[in-house]
Amino acid sequence: MNILVTGGAGFIGSAVCRLLAGRGDVKVVNLDKLTYAGNLQSLRPIANAASYKHYSVDICDDAKVLEILRREEIDTVMHLAAESHVDRSIDGPGAFIETNVVGTFRLLNAALSYWRELPSGKQERFRFHHVSTDEVFGDLPFDDGVFTEETPYAPSSPYSASKAASDHFVRAWHETYGLPVVLSNCSNNYGPFHFPEKLIPLVILNALDEQPLPVYGKGANIRDWLYVEDHARALELVATKGQVGQSYNIGGRAERTNLGVVEAICDLLDERRPRGGGKSYRDLITFVADRPGHDRRYAIDPAKIERELGWRAEHTFESGLARTIDWYLENEWWWGPIRREHYRGERLGEGVKGAA
């Protein structure tokens, strides 16, 4: 099987590439134009594998994408390329519309043209897997409800609105043109190789630098957390065994308040890398003004993918967080250059960018 992964140098995309190419039984083609969050160092474990190849190509270049689909004889497209940071979408929504909406539209056109050229047997096997987020559903009350595959869309931020739009386009290309698609919506991911502007790596690295740990409002907002390697396994199942035209919610059954996440990180660091003078990393927690449109709670019901595809999260939040912290403590070669080159001063922790 030949699988094209868009955004394969990003956080989740690189986990998918490492999983698939690491086994050697499939060929993985990574299509990533390498924006600020794309990092080929995340693919160092498979960089020289015969089962892996990278193209630095923009998904908006549909002619080039079509050329690669043909050249590599792609059987499955796993579309993960996206702008994904909510704070960035508030500051500059245009890039999110361009990548998440226009990019998905152009990728769908390339995939449709390619699919129509395939012989009937390969047409039946071809899949376009669109990877989305639980944020398209809006938010939930603090004490009731979960997102299912039937939950109406109600996005709250420019980011979630752009992802909702891309979801609708994917469904439309299936209903109108017959393109064989599957979709998935996931909860908050965390784990190794996570870009340092996101909550968990930001808190870990700010703590190690003795910088403030910014928390929005009172830290009461709740998210469902999913270890990235569990997510990668789920995505493979959806792409290869999911029912055409269906969507699958993927969550870790691990709801935590943002403050609870930050405190858990502090407690683990207190054990693994104690501060001087007997101080706790919790002393660095700093509450900042809440961001606009901050959703209260996300909670995913993964019963459908558990029931139909046999997937289960292997990591609890506690075990996954411990593995994540250990990875960051042991792999400054990866995150150190990113911290030094891209995020200094206010943009990396002294302000509210990336706060919980």
Task: Give yes or no for a contact between 190 and 321, defined as CB atoms under 8 angstroms apart.
Answer: yes
DSSP state of 253: S
State the Cα–Cα distance between residues 26 and 106, nearest whole angstrom. Answer: 26
CA distances from 68 to 18, 30, 77, 345 (A): 20, 11, 12, 41
| CATH code given to domain 2-194+226-254+298-317 | 3.40.50.720
State the Cα–Cα distance between residues 183 and 186, nearest whole angstrom. Answer: 10
Range list of H helices, 197-289:
199-208, 228-241, 258-272
Residue-wise pLDDT for 93-146, tens only, equals 999 999 999 999 999 999 999 999 999 999 999 999 999 999 999 999 998 899
pLDDT > 90? residue 13: yes
Q: What is the DSSP annotation of 42-101?
A: GGGGGTT-TTEEEE---TT-HHHHHHHHHHHT-SEEEE------HHHHHH-THHHIIIII
| Domain segments of the chain as ranges | 2-194+226-254+298-317
Residue-wise pLDDT for 132-149, tens only, equals 999 999 999 998 899 999
Q: Give phi and psi for 52, each to the nearest 5.
A: -130, 140
Q: How many CB atoms lie within 10 A of CB 90?
A: 15
The tokens for 167 are: 């979801």
Q: What does pLDDT average to over the chain?
A: 93
Residue-wise pLDDT for 174-230, tens only, equals 999 999 999 999 999 999 999 998 899 999 999 999 999 999 999 999 999 999 999
Q: Give phi and psi for 30, each to the nearest 5.
A: -95, 120
Strand partners, 213: 285
pLDDT > 70? residue 355: no
- Which residues are annotated as catalytic? 134-135, 159
CA distances from 136 to 153, 183, 337 (A): 6, 13, 33
